[in-house]
Structure 1
């Protein structure tokens, strides 16, 4: 019994130490979260000459679903975006709108807001980022970018899993 208590306390201290070592702010359990989605930015030569690709549109939807599912699995209360649909409809990229993501999330009463981008540099090189902000302060509490190689479902999912594993929800 005493051994379990000591081991439990050591595990808690270790997980707290990992988060502190990375400078991560402790996230509130059961906090409300507004996930405003991911934006696809095609700066590749291919994108300059060709129309939007159906596979990349489907891939972005798949990745957004994966992010939503992970955030829910981590215990966040996901907020319905319907009340701010008009606001979101006027914004091309919620991840690059001079703080509008925080203002929109505040309208919903969210504790946190998450936005992200996937930038296609070429069909081989893509970059993705994800940012979580505390709505009350506007400060980023989680942010990570990763470059991925190859433009496939698997590479996109692997990139986002890496973001979650190494920074958002650090696995000790």
Structure 2
């Protein structure tokens, strides 16, 4: 919960649009990236009473594939996580593990690490965030949180595309 609050505040403080493009840290061409995935957090009343929904599980996989493909398209060398699978196995949420994402990515000799979350507040309101850190310095080089309305494949994809467009891959 604390991570989402910090990310939300960070996202609100960042400028938007073309002005933001000039303030972003330049990413290294061909840099290696450890994408540790996205975590689904259901804090809705529905989630408190019902089991995990198959459609939401499928959406999370769809969104992870979307993130992976976009970073590959942008020229990042995506690292295989198999060597750190034992380190990742006990971790419930790599986006909220007191810096474990940096330690795990360092084992892979990654330049950057990316983690994210999708939080279901209700079946109408969801929040998603994506964070990219420089592994060597621990510095956050990209971070964005967005709230989306409706719980569909299309709304999840639109939310992630918005994160990409407004902060991760901004065209100046």
> Across the two proteins, how many residue pairs are aligned to each other?
155
| TM-score normalised by the chain length of structure 1 | 0.88
RMSD: 1.1
Pairing 1:19–2:21 present: yes
- Quick one: distance in 2 between partners of 1:85 and 1:139? 24
Pairing 1:123–2:123 present: yes
Offset, 1:18: 5.5
Q: Which residue of 1 aligns with 2:63?
A: 63
Query: What is the DSSP-based 3-state SS (H/G/I as helix, E as strand, rest coil) of the residue aligned with 2:35?
Result: strand
Cα displacement string for residues 12-56 of structure 1 (whole angstroms, at most 9, x for unaligned residues): xxxx97522xx2100000000000000000000000000000000
Gaps of 5+ in 2: 1-17
- Quick one: distance in 2 between partners of 1:17 and 1:171? 11
Greater Rg over alpha carbons, structure:
1
Offset, 1:171: 2.1
Query: What is the DSSP-based 3-state SS (H/G/I as helix, E as strand, rest coil) of the residue aligned with 2:52?
Result: coil
Query: What is the DSSP-based 3-state SS (H/G/I as helix, E as strand, rest coil) of the residue aligned with 1:80?
Result: coil
Q: Which residue of 1 aligns with 2:51?
A: 51
Higher relative contact order (CA 8 A, sep 6+): 2
| TM-score normalised by the chain length of structure 2 | 0.88
- Quick one: distance in 1 between partners of 2:171 and 2:56? 30
Q: Which residue of 1 aligns with 2:147?
A: 147
- Quick one: distance in 1 between partners of 2:21 and 2:103? 28
Pairing 1:3-18 to 2, within 5 Å after superposition: none
